[in-house]
Amino acid sequence: MNTIMKVDAGNVNRFYDKAYDWIIDRGPSVILGIILLIFGLWLIKLLGKWMQGGMHRKDINPSLRPFLTSLIIITLRVLLVLTVMQVIGIQLTFLTVLIGGIGVAAGLALSGTLQNFASGVLILLLKPFVAGDNIIAQGQEGTVASIQIFYTIVKTFDNRTVVIPNSKLSNEVIINISREGTRRLDIEIKFSYGIDYEKVVSIFNKTVDEFKSCLKTPERRIGVSSLEDNGFKASLNIWVNAHGFTDTKLSFLEVLMKNLKLGGIKLPGMPD
């Protein structure tokens, strides 16, 4: 009985000795790791609030703000936990290899999706176009209805909904036809040499003056664009609002044709 008690007491003493040695050896690292974890979490929380305010001041897209904040905060927290584990002395070799393998596999499986995602973030940050702009992209012309993280929705002028992956919009040419607010309407008409050019200019000016959608500035431009064997081409450049450009063009051409006919100027193909 005494022998058993002596054995148990020896085991307990050895346990306490090992625990004491571990506390002396690892205790400061564990305490430092806990302090680092608490301070790091507080600092990351403070950084998140600062980021929200900064993105609001810089007018970053509202749909992107919570996503970017969450992404950065989660990344910083993961890095903080890994750093704390290193400080405490936990070996990360296997964990690092495992995370790396999972990352490579996920990257290969989601390469197209990740590319669209990264492109969506760039579009929302750099703003080559915004919702409401008229653009030409991927052979489509229309109004940007919305910009999502993975794709952009464009509504064409003939009422078709086109969904374009963001990677296509960030890597290829985009023509933003409404960003400047105005567009130049170019009209070129061919006349025979028997028609008085000064009369053509007078009718052009009269039509522009009467047409309310024509802008005063920049100034209109009228001139002869080419001379051919059987006639000359007169060119007219006027500035109009970018939104509603097609409607303005159709209406202006209709008024111009009527004024030319009223002025006695015969266009090619018109009956005598």
Q: CA dist 183 to 134, 178, 189, 243, 266, Å?
A: 12, 8, 20, 9, 29
**Greater confidence, 191 or 30?**
191
User: What is the pLDDT at residue 32?
Assistant: 77
Partnered with residue 143 across adjacent β-strands are: 134, 155
Which residues lie below 8 Å from residue 266, measured CB to CB, with a gap of 6+?
Answer: 192, 195, 272
Is the link from the previous residue into 66 a cis peptide, with omega within 30 of 0? no
Q: CA dist 78 to 31, 72, 81, 84, 207, Å?
A: 19, 10, 5, 10, 68
User: What is the pLDDT at residue 147?
Assistant: 85
pLDDT surpassing 80 at residue 249: yes
> What's the rounded Cα separation, in Å, for the pair 71 and 4?
59
User: In 214-227, which positions are buried (b, 16+ CB within 10 angstroms) versus exposed (e)?
Assistant: bbeeeebebeeeee
**What would the pLDDT profile of 100-115 be if each residue is shown by its tens digit?**
666 655 554 445 677 8
Mean of per-residue pLDDT scores for the chain: 81
**Greater confidence, 21 or 230?**
230
> What's the rounded Cα separation, in Å, for the pair 214 and 208?
6
Confidence tier at 240 by pLDDT (50, 70, 90)? very high
Which residues lie below 8 Å from residue 257, measured CB to CB, with a gap of 6+?
Answer: 267
pLDDT surpassing 70 at residue 203: yes
User: What is the pLDDT at residue 22?
Assistant: 56
User: What is the pLDDT at residue 110?
Assistant: 46
| pTM of the predicted structure, to 2 decimals | 0.60
User: Judging by DSSP bridges, how do beta strands 175-176 and 151-156 pair with one another?
Assistant: unpaired
Mean pLDDT throughout 129-157?
A: 90
78-82, 143-147, 161-165: range with lowest mean pLDDT:
78-82
**What would the pLDDT profile of 157-192 be if each residue is shown by its tens digit?**
899 999 999 888 888 889 999 999 999 999 999 998
Confidence tier at 96 by pLDDT (50, 70, 90)? low
User: What is the pLDDT at residue 109?
Assistant: 45
> What's the rounded Cα separation, in Å, for the pair 61 and 15?
60
Nearest to 95 by CA among 110, 85, 104: 85
